[in-house]
Amino acid sequence: MNKIERKYILPNAITATNMFLGFLSITMSIKENYHLAAWLILLAMVFDALDGLTARKLNAFSEFGKEFDSFCDSVSFGLAPGILIFSLLSNTTNNFPKELITPLAFIYALAGVVRLVKFNVVTTASDSKDDFSGMPIPNGANLVVSYFLFAEVTGLGVDPKILAIVALGSAVLMVSTIPFRIPQKVFSFIPKKMILFVAIAILGTAEYSLFPLGLYYVFANLFTFFNSKDQN
């Protein structure tokens, strides 16, 4: 194995770890360990970000890596949250129509896969390379997972109707053609000197902060989109 081939190993290994965490999350949902299942999906997001950073650092981009990343994302951010949705709504303590549980969980997972395929085919919805066509799948997964964690830590408890709305809303936004700006642009009001402090604060309060931040990201993009349409 030559040096050129070796440089592709690390980013692809990180990508595989992303999928492994998604797989573990599914097993935890099956075992009704929902809290750990949710955190494993969030941890998979960290590795999803790391594989891209590593590939850029090593100049190790490849068509295989691109497709492999999408496949692993479909497990960690499509299937794993879908199974979590199914498991939570199937809980006997939740008064939710049983006949709607499987279709809802599947629609979320399917929308996530469609979003990934669309990303590989159509990279942007506008002339800006910083725009995504539809909400990225990690953001959809974050909304589902962070709502569960937020509901649990605040003592509100998971409302099956709200979870269903979050899941279905995420599915619609993922397959939409609404331009979504990268988070760096949406949160550009944060001073660069404060980014590290803010990141640490978010990590320390993740169960409280991720869901409100996820909602802000969605509504900021929707406001920009509909405001630009009104001006045109």
Q: For 142-165, how does the pLDDT look when each residue is reduced to its tens digit (9 = 90+)? A: 999 999 999 999 999 999 999 999
**Phi, psi at 60, each rounded to 5°:** -115, 40
Average pLDDT (194-212) is 88
pLDDT band at 201 (very low <50, low <70, confident <90, very high): confident
**Can you tell me which residue has the tokens 């630009």?**
228
Above 50 in pLDDT, residue 73? yes
State the pTM of this model. Answer: 0.90
Residue with the larger pLDDT of the pair 220 and 123: 220
Total number of domains in the chain: 1
**Which pLDDT score, from 0 to 100, does residue 186 have?**
86
**Which pLDDT score, from 0 to 100, does residue 130 have?**
63
Q: What is the pLDDT of residues 34-71, one digit of tens each?
A: 999 999 999 999 999 988 888 888 887 788 888 899 99
**Which pLDDT score, from 0 to 100, does residue 230 have?**
65
Above 70 in pLDDT, residue 2? no
Three-class SS of the chain: CCHHHHCCHHHHHHHHHHHHHHHHHHHHHHCCCHHHHHHHHHHHHHHHHHHHHHHHHHCCCCHHHHHHHHHHHHHHHHHHHHHHHHHHHHCCCCCCCHHHHHHHHHHHHHHHHHHHHHHHHCCCCCCCCCEEECCCHHHHHHHHHHHHHHHHHCCCCCCHHHHHHHHHHHHHHHHCCCEEECHHHHCCCCCHHHHHHHHHHHHHCHHHHHHHHHHHHHHHHHHHHHHHHHHC
Average pLDDT (183-189) is 84
pLDDT band at 127 (very low <50, low <70, confident <90, very high): very low
pLDDT band at 124 (very low <50, low <70, confident <90, very high): very low
CATH number of the domain where residue 172 is located: 1.20.120.1760
| Residue 157: domain span | 3-231
**Which pLDDT score, from 0 to 100, does residue 4 have?**
53
Average pLDDT (92-107) is 88
Above 70 in pLDDT, residue 25? yes
The per-residue pLDDT of the chain, averaged, comes to: 89
